[in-house]
Amino acid sequence: MIEIGVLGAGTMGSGIAQVAAQAGHVVHLVDVNESAVQNAKRNLEAVLSKLVEKGKISADEHTAIIGRINYSSDILSFQNCGLIIEAIIEKIEVKHKVFEQLEGVVSEECILASNTSSLSIASIGSVLEKSDRIIGIHFFNPAPLMPLVEIIPSVQTSNQTLETAKSLIASWKKTVCICKDTPGFIVNRVARPFYGEALRIYEEGIADFATIDWAMTSIGGFKMGPFTLMDYIGNDVNYAVTESVFSAFYYDPRFKPSFTQKRHSEAGFYGRKSGRGYYNYAEGVELPKATEDNVIGQEIFERIIVMLINEAFDALFLNVASREDIDLAMMKGVNYPKGLLQWADELGLDWVLSKLENLFEEYGEDRYRPNPLLKRKVKALKHA
């Protein structure tokens, strides 16, 4: 079994190290910050002890897993690794520097992967001499619990790098989806309207946060409504992703960020982590009640779901991923109750299209333009 290197011992790096060690690999977890290394060690040991208490792993397994994780602040510990997954700060200049250094330490065969959520894999790989070893391996937070991993080959990635990464991550009992090196990959691209359209509906005064959340959970069957979910993710984090996807798509109005979210973020209303977001989480404060009006609820659900479906069609149209992977990614990465393309079939493609056409006509905004592939499919169905 190859040894795995994980660079960055923060939220993602420690989760990834846990997954790899539980899968039986010797893992080297490295961070420049000595206290981050110590924190990760403490946290991982506590998490693994909890797993023993819950009966998920035995005491012997616990000892073996802990024994397989080495902690260090020196990348020289990566010398014998067959794969390194970088999970450091999301800044391209820092990643460039670090990947250059990594290549100086590892063997010719070692795969160099990034867990970046928003940066281009091609750009990260551009600093490598042997750039066909670069690949994106994108875990979701928390890495030990979320089943999805998006694997992103860039224009430089060799087939061998892709195949090795794919089978390795699948052997860690993760659901692997292959995705083109495009902004937001699958999940962070296709999910944008879940937040963006909900915020827009709120801004238009159609409903308040609680009612929109109620519509999406009770009528749509989603596990969490958009505002509850944004409060979990953190408005600062979710806003930053939206802005980065918006600019990466050359300011396509489909991805336009919302002032409501910007102001909440600027005010420090990040969500659960700051005690207040769209909702107030202070002790003793009751959460607002939804106005459970089925007509409005249905309208909210329909508007958000057709926008999500349109985005899923766009990802398929531009070959970002296969139909199966687009549906699987949304179910395993963000817990959607159904894949969006399957959902579209169930709702009826002509119904989805006419809903989008109505929005496009009413608003005259490019964000509502129906995807050409959806239009083609509806046309084909009519002529079948």
Ligand X SMILES: NC(=O)c1ccc[n+]([C@@H]2O[C@H](COP(=O)([O-])OP(=O)(O)OC[C@H]3O[C@@H](n4cnc5c(N)ncnc54)[C@H](O)[C@@H]3O)[C@@H](O)[C@H]2O)c1
Q: Tell me whether residue 283 is exposed, middle or buried, using C-beta atoms within 10 angstroms of its C-beta: 0 to 12, 13 to 18, 19 or more.
A: exposed
- Among positions 2, 10, 77, 323, the unique one binding ligand X when judged by CB under 6 A: 10
- Among positions 3, 4, 6, 8, the unique one binding ligand X when judged by CB under 6 A: 8
Between 13 and 125, whose beta carbon lies closer to ligand X? 13
Could you give the CA distance from residue 343 to residue 341 in angstroms, rounded to a whole number?
5
Q: Tell whether residue 7 is a contact of ligand X (CB under 6 A).
A: yes
Catalytic residue among 117, 235, 244, 371: 117
Closest of 39, 63, 37, 38 to residue 49, by C-alpha = 63
Q: Which amino acid is at 151?
A: I
Q: Is 171 an active-site residue?
A: no
Catalytic residue among 150, 197, 302, 311: 150
Q: Tell whether residue 314 is a contact of ligand X (CB under 6 A).
A: no
Could you give the CA distance from residue 169 to residue 35 in angstroms, rounded to a whole number?
29
| Residues within window 79-98 making contact with ligand X, judged by CB under 6 A | 87-90, 94, 98
Helix runs in the chain, H state only:
11-22, 34-53, 59-68, 92-105, 121-125, 159-171, 187-190, 192-203, 209-214, 226-233, 235-248, 259-266, 294-317, 323-333, 340-347, 349-363, 372-383
Q: Sign of the C-alpha dihedral, residues 54, 60, 65, 66?
A: positive
Q: Tell whether residue 9 is a contact of ligand X (CB under 6 A).
A: yes
Helix (H, G, I), strand (E, B) or coil at 194: helix
Q: Tell whether residue 175 is a contact of ligand X (CB under 6 A).
A: no
Could you give the CA distance from residue 10 to residue 81 in angstroms, rounded to a whole number?
20
Between 78 and 214, whose beta carbon lies closer to ligand X? 78
- Among positions 3, 4, 5, 13, the unique one binding ligand X when judged by CB under 6 A: 13
Kind and range of the H or E run holding 220:
none
Q: Tell whether residue 12 is a contact of ligand X (CB under 6 A).
A: yes
Between 12 and 378, whose beta carbon lies closer to ligand X? 12
Q: Tell whether residue 1 is a contact of ligand X (CB under 6 A).
A: no
Q: Is 80 an active-site residue?
A: no
Q: Print the SS3 string covering 43-86.
A: HHHHHHHHHHHCCCCCHHHHHHHHHHEEEECCHHHHCCEEEEEE
Q: Tell whether residue 318 is a contact of ligand X (CB under 6 A).
A: no
In Å, how far from its chain's centre is CA 60?
A: 33
Q: What is the dihedral of CA 327, 333, 334, 336, to 10 degrees?
A: 30
CB of 305 to ligand X, least distance (A): 25
| Residues within window 24-53 making contact with ligand X, judged by CB under 6 A | 31-33, 36
Could you give the CA distance from residue 86 to residue 115 in angstroms, rounded to a whole number?
6
Between 12 and 341, whose beta carbon lies closer to ligand X? 12
Between 90 and 243, whose beta carbon lies closer to ligand X? 90
Between 116 and 120, whose beta carbon lies closer to ligand X? 116
How many Cβ atoms from other residues are within 10 Å of residue 190's Cβ? 30
| Residues within window 238-297 making contact with ligand X, judged by CB under 6 A | none
CB of 29 to ligand X, least distance (A): 10
- Residues binding ligand X: number (CB under 6 A): 23
Catalytic residue among 114, 138, 265, 302: 138
Binding mask 115-144 for ligand X (x = CB under 6 A): xxx---------------------xxx---
Q: Which amino acid is at 229?
A: L
Between 33 and 335, whose beta carbon lies closer to ligand X? 33
Q: Is 150 an active-site residue?
A: yes
State the number of CA atoms in the 13 A half-sphere of 303 facing the CB: 25
CB of 116 to ligand X, least distance (A): 4
- Report the interface residues with ligand X, using CB under 6 A: 7-13, 31-33, 36, 87-90, 94, 98, 115-117, 139-141
Residues that are catalytic: 117, 138, 150, 188
